[in-house]
Amino acid sequence: MNSLLRDREVQYIALRDETSKTWRILDTWHEGLKDIDLDDDIPDDNPAVYVLTESAFTALIKEAARLGVLENVDFGMDSSYELAEKDAEIEKLKAEISKIREETTNTKVDPYKGMSEATIIKLKAMDSNLKIISTITDFDELTKE
């Protein structure tokens, strides 16, 4: 089994155990795996296995983040598929926004919606009076010059 694992690009594999709240890190290139078959479970006491408690793992990550080590980590994953998915989602959302903007622009808002007929007549009369007064004021200003 060791020769198969040595050919891997990635030396370490980390797995989280939900029940025991521990992390198991396997050194796939370790000599301790040479006598183990592919179907065998690898015991925790194997020298190729490192077991960390949840709190120890969290402390390790915090310290790595503090030192800036995580910024240089290459996760070795091809995320182009995920990026393509996100780009498609962004395009879909942009199309929805454009559609909503177009609908909003084409929809005229009725300023008198929900008002009684008498109130509408009063508001229109006041608006007409304001326009007339504004026009008279404009003419008055023009004749003074």
Range of the domain at 134: 111-145
- Same domain? For 126 and 67 the reply is no
Q: Is residue 89 part of a domain?
A: no
Name the domain boundary from 41, 72, 103. Answer: 72
Residues 125 and 66 in one domain: no
Q: Of 69, 83, 77, 80, nearest to 9 (Cα)? A: 77
Domain boundary among 72, 89, 121: 72
Number of domains in the chain: 2
State pLDDT tens for residues 51-96. Answer: 999 999 999 999 988 888 887 776 666 566 677 788 888 999 999 9
* In a domain? residue 85: no
Distance of alpha carbon 6 from alpha carbon 28, whole angstroms:
7
CA-nearest of 65, 58, 63, 69 to 16 is 58
Q: Where a domain ends, among 18, 51, 72?
A: 72
At 4-53, the pLDDT tens digits run 555 667 788 889 999 999 999 998 888 888 877 777 788 889 998 999 99
* C-beta separation of 63 from 50 below 8 A: no
